[in-house]
Amino acid sequence: MADKTHSISAEDREKLIKVAFEAKEGTYSPYSKFAVGAALLALDGHIIKGANIENASYGGTICAERTAIVKAVSEGVRRFKALAVVTNVPSSISPCGMCRQVLREFCSNDMDIFLVPGDYPRPLKENERPEQGYIEGGARKTNLAELLPDSFGPEHLELPRA
Ligand X SMILES: O=c1ccn([C@H]2C[C@H](O)[C@@H](CO)O2)c(=O)[nH]1
- Whole-angstrom Cα distance, residue 67 to residue 49? 8
Instruction: Determine the size of the site formed for Zn ion (CB under 5 A).
Output: 3
Say if strands 36-42 and 47-51 run parallel, antiparallel, or are unpaired. Answer: antiparallel
99 among annotated binding-site residues: yes
Find the largest Cα–Cα distance for the chain. 54
Q: Length of the chain, please?
A: 162
Of the candidate spans 11-19, 94-102, 122-130, 131-139, the one that interacts with ligand X by CB under 6 A turns out to be 94-102
Cα atoms found within 13 Å of the Cα of residue 14, Cβ hemisphere only = 6
- Whole-angstrom Cα distance, residue 33 to residue 52? 10
54 among annotated binding-site residues: yes
48 binds ligand X (CB under 6 A): no
69 binds Zn ion (CB under 5 A): no
Selected binder of ligand X within 8, 12, 61, 137 (CB under 6 A): 61
- Give min distance, CB of 72 to ligand X, in A: 16
CB distance 40 to 74 below 8 Å: no
Considering beta carbons, is residue 99 or 113 the nearer one to Zn ion?
A: 99
Summarize as ranges the residues that interact with ligand X (CB under 6 A): 29, 32, 34, 36, 52, 54, 61, 63-65, 85, 93, 95-96, 99
Annotated binding-site positions for substrate: 52-58
